Amino acid sequence: MPSQDQLDALRQWFTHQGGYVNPEVKIEHNADRGVHCRAASNLAPKSQICTVPHTLTLSSLNALVDDNFPVFKNRGLSPQAIGYFYLMHQFVHKETSFWKPYLDTLPAPTSEHRTPFWFDSDDLTWLEDTDVLFTYKARLAMHEGNYSTGTAMISQAGIDVTPYSWDLYKWAVTMFTSRSFSSRAIRPQDSKYWAANRSGPDGRRQTVLLDMSRTSAEDLDFPVLFPVLDIPNHSHDAKVDWTFDPGRFTMASTDGAKSGSEILNNYGPKSNDELLLGYGFCLRDNPNDKVLMTLKPPSDRLQHDIRHVQPGYFDTQGQWNSERATFGLKRISVHERSPADVFQELPAPLLELLAYMIRFERRLPFEFIDHPRQSLIDDTSTSRHYLPHITRMIVTSMAPKLQKLQSSTPDRPPSNGRQQQAQIYRSSQIEILESVIGGLRGFLRSLLLTEFPHPQPLPSGPFITTLDGLLQLLRRHSVEAARFFVDGIVANAGTPDLNQLREAGWEEDMFVLLICYCQIAFGFELPEYCQGTTANVEEELLAQEMEQARDLLSLVAIARQAVPAPESIWSNDQWTEQFVAQVGGRMLIHESFMMVVPVEGQEVARPVLYVLGSRASA
């Protein structure tokens, strides 16, 4: 815990070296807020809070020009890792370091740090089955490799590595992840030369220009510590203005501040996983929090098409990059609205990729979707019919994640600050998943129609129904047609009882026959893949479709004999292999799925059918 004398020394050093802190801004410390800034008097809007000259920054650039610690002049590690070791070196030699006043006010390596890097095995149980745990393990492996390489380089340079402990490395990483800014803040605008600073023999700061023109774009993005400007705490409501002028970085308060109030910074729209991993804290009801959903790689054929319109999902070798196909799902609002509005709150790129996958599964030609969200929610768009299937894809992916989080949540209260922050993160993940899954299931339920009683009008738009519901719709259209259908089924199965037919395994065949029967009786709005030659179905799959259709036509023949009336739908000439396969068979495959529906006062899982539209009339 820094003393007020140390904070005053930091301010004096900072201003002596060319930095600026508003005279009406106090730098203070308490147990609740840590080191923070507070307004000593009312600050007007757009008040400048702090300006840091680049000569005071600490990053890997300093290690490239420091003759007193030349270990990493030729690099050998990533810029991030070099920065960590350089900060360690400054801490080991703090008494002679240029940054001593700054180092004195940083949280000590022995302080309580709350990023997962410092979690013990008991703490980690609070992260079980979370995205943060997965990311933490990957980063831990990376850091262990960097630490091993870096200490070996230090040893080879003839420097005693004993002070460069693993705990000190973890501390350095934590200081950078929790306090640094991107190197974009110091990037030269019109030059290939980057300014790196070091202390000369007389103690004065010297600027060395480094030619970084041959450095990869990835290595030009590294963390930079800006003393004093890293003090204000984060709030997602804070309104600040960052100005990147040549040689300096300035923060101003957009709205100003009242006397005695804390002056806050805004790190950007960060989710709780970012805050926990980088800073060691989480926010309750964080509006920027999200749950990650990573799409599995599409088939090679679909990747080929996507690569032409969305190359950003692929690496430089043209391979699918799952990290780039990872999307953040935020908490769904609960205010009154149309059930379909849930899609307004889902990432448009995710909706676009799922729509491509749906079209591919249905053997439809690839079509670029320019405005995916608008295309999907527009009542006049054919793409709107993908929404139930997009819903199921997201729910199917997220429901197991929710179940795991719920089942692995510790049944005891948190016992320390690290566990408290992890609990906030975990609870928010569960709440977001519940809101997303609940909102999407609510959309599906809004389409469900299991009964079509008189005198309610029959649906003309999309709806979801059961086998029982579809038969009831047929009965509303024509009692006689419905009776003839049941008579034909009885002739084949020996019973009209739908429950007995389900138990005997007739439900799928019944669905296909009833879909075809209704298509002849009154007609559906058919999906693209049921019409003409739009769908490019492989010969092997087409042969399977035709074989299944032939089997069903044998049932149609029996029904035709049992219901010989000339007006019977069973006698219609449209009953062909192609018709049964292309209409009934494909709709069963692509438009039916299991769904929990109300049955006699209970919720029962039943196969349902998504219907784009019906021309049935009462």
Per-position DSSP letters for 262-319, written without gaps between them: EE-B---S--HHHHHHHTS---TT-TT-EEEEEPPPPPHHHHHHHHHH-GGGB-TTS-
Based on the domain organization, do 152 and 195 belong to the same domain? yes
**DSSP per position, 329-398:** EEPPP-SS--GGGGGGGS-HHHHHHHHHHHHHHTTPPP---SSHHHHHH-TT-GGGGGHHHHHHHHHHHH
Q: Hey, is 154 helix, strand or coil?
A: helix
Residue 125 lies in a domain: no
Instruction: Please state the length of the chain.
Output: 618
| DSSP label of 106 | S
Identify the domain boundary among 413, 447, 481: 447
Looking at the chain, the whole-number percentage of residues with pLDDT higher than 90 is 79
pLDDT, residue 336, reads 55
pTM: 0.90
**Confidence band, pLDDT 50/70/90 cuts, at residue 535:** confident
Q: How far apart are CA 388 and CA 461, in angstroms?
A: 14
155: which 2 tokens? 């040893």
Phi (first) and psi of residue 289, to 5 degrees:
-70, 155
| Higher pLDDT among residues 459 and 408, named by residue | 408
Q: With 70 as the cut, is the pLDDT of residue 463 above it?
A: yes
pLDDT, residue 219, reads 83
Residue 152 lies in a domain: yes
Q: With 70 as the cut, is the pLDDT of residue 364 above it?
A: yes
Q: What is the H or E stretch that residue 326 is in?
A: strand 326-330
Span 565-594, pLDDT tens digits: 888 999 999 999 999 999 999 999 999 999
Identify the domain boundary among 224, 239, 269: 269
Residue 138 lies in a domain: no
Based on the domain organization, do 214 and 330 belong to the same domain? no
pLDDT, residue 339, reads 84
Based on the domain organization, do 335 and 235 belong to the same domain? no
Residue 618 lies in a domain: no
Residue 540 lies in a domain: yes
- CA triple 486-588-528, angle to 5 deg: 120
| DSSP label of 320 | B
Identify the domain boundary among 415, 447, 479: 447
Based on the domain organization, do 359 and 220 belong to the same domain? no
Residue 324 lies in a domain: yes
| Higher pLDDT among residues 340 and 598, named by residue | 598
Average pLDDT over residues 497-507: 92
Number of domains the chain is built from: 3
Domain with residue 24: its CATH number is 3.90.1410.10
Based on the domain organization, do 493 and 518 belong to the same domain? yes
Interhelix angle 507-521/479-493, rounded to 10 degrees, is 150
Residue 212 lies in a domain: yes
**Confidence band, pLDDT 50/70/90 cuts, at residue 335:** low
Q: Give me the half-sphere count of Cα atoms (radius 13 Å) on the Cβ side of residue 367.
A: 16
pLDDT, residue 446, reads 94
Residues in CB range of 161: below 8 A, 6 or more apart: 151, 154, 155
Q: How far apart are CA 300 and CA 308, in angstroms?
A: 13
| Higher pLDDT among residues 400 and 528, named by residue | 400
Mean residue pLDDT across the chain: 93
Domain enclosing residue 28, as ranges: 4-115+144-269
**Confidence band, pLDDT 50/70/90 cuts, at residue 217:** confident
Based on the domain organization, do 321 and 237 belong to the same domain? no
Place of tokens 């006010």: 105
Average pLDDT over residues 465-492: 96
Q: What is the H or E stretch that residue 181 is in?
A: strand 181-182
Based on the domain organization, do 265 and 333 belong to the same domain? no
What is the pairing mode between strands 290-294 and 463-466? Answer: unpaired
Based on the domain organization, do 205 and 296 belong to the same domain? no
Residue 373 lies in a domain: yes
Based on the domain organization, do 298 and 247 belong to the same domain? no
Q: Is 569 exposed, middle or buried (0-12, 13-18, 19+ CB in 10 A)?
A: buried
Based on the domain organization, do 110 and 255 belong to the same domain? yes
pLDDT, residue 380, reads 78
Based on the domain organization, do 250 and 327 belong to the same domain? no
pLDDT, residue 208, reads 86
**Confidence band, pLDDT 50/70/90 cuts, at residue 193:** confident
**DSSP per position, 432-474:** HHHHHHHHHHHHHHHHB-----TTSPPP-S-EEEEHHHHHHHH
Based on the domain organization, do 241 and 93 belong to the same domain? yes
